[in-house]
């Protein structure tokens, strides 16, 4: 980590302190909640080039969101293959027919 410039180290530090956002319905990772970013920058007295620090945070966030989406897609496909292998590949439907 010491091989990175101070701005990148500061960005990674602030990024780790920001809370995560998750989609409640799908469980997808949406990135960070940025409402506390200024508070954290003020608290840790990070005043030098805040725009550049936020820029590095956003680059890292984009990489992480993409990684998490790819990971979820791999898991979905693995679950799909597993269910097809166990159930013969067809979908099971339950119909309540009266009459």
Specify whether the CB–CB gap between 27 and 35 falls below 8 A.
no
Q: Is 30 inside any structural domain?
A: yes
Structural tokens at position 53: 């620090």
Longest CA pairwise span in the chain (Å): 74
Task: Decide: helix, strand or coil at residue 21.
Answer: strand
Q: Is residue 26 part of a domain?
A: yes
Tally of domains within the chain: 1
- Residue 94 covered by a domain: no
pLDDT of res. 27: 87
Q: Is residue 66 part of a domain?
A: yes
Domain assignment present for residue 82? The answer is no
* Domain assignment present for 54: yes
Which residues of the chain register pLDDT less than 50? none
84 lies in some domain: no
Compute the Cα dihedral for 28, 31, 35, 39 and give only its sign. positive
Determine the structural domain holding residue 66 and report its residue range: 6-76
Beta bridge partners of 31: 21
Query: What confidence score (pLDDT) does residue 99 get?
Result: 60
Q: Give the per-residue pLDDT at 91.
A: 60
| Residue 24 placed within a domain | yes
pTM for this prediction: 0.77
What's the pLDDT score for residue 52?
95
């Amino acid at each position: 980590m010491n091989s990175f410039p101070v701005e990148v180290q500061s960005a990674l530090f602030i990024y780790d302190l920001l809370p995560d956002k998750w989609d409640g319905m799908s469980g997808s990772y949406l990135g960070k909640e940025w409402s506390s970013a200024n508070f954290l920058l003020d608290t840790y007295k990070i005043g030098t080039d805040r725009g550049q620090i936020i820029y590095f945070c956003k680059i890292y966030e984009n990489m992480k969101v993409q990684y998490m989406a790819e990971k979820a897609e791999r898991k979905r496909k693995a679950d799909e293959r597993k269910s097809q292998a166990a159930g013969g590949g067809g979908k099971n439907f339950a119909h309540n027919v009266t009459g």
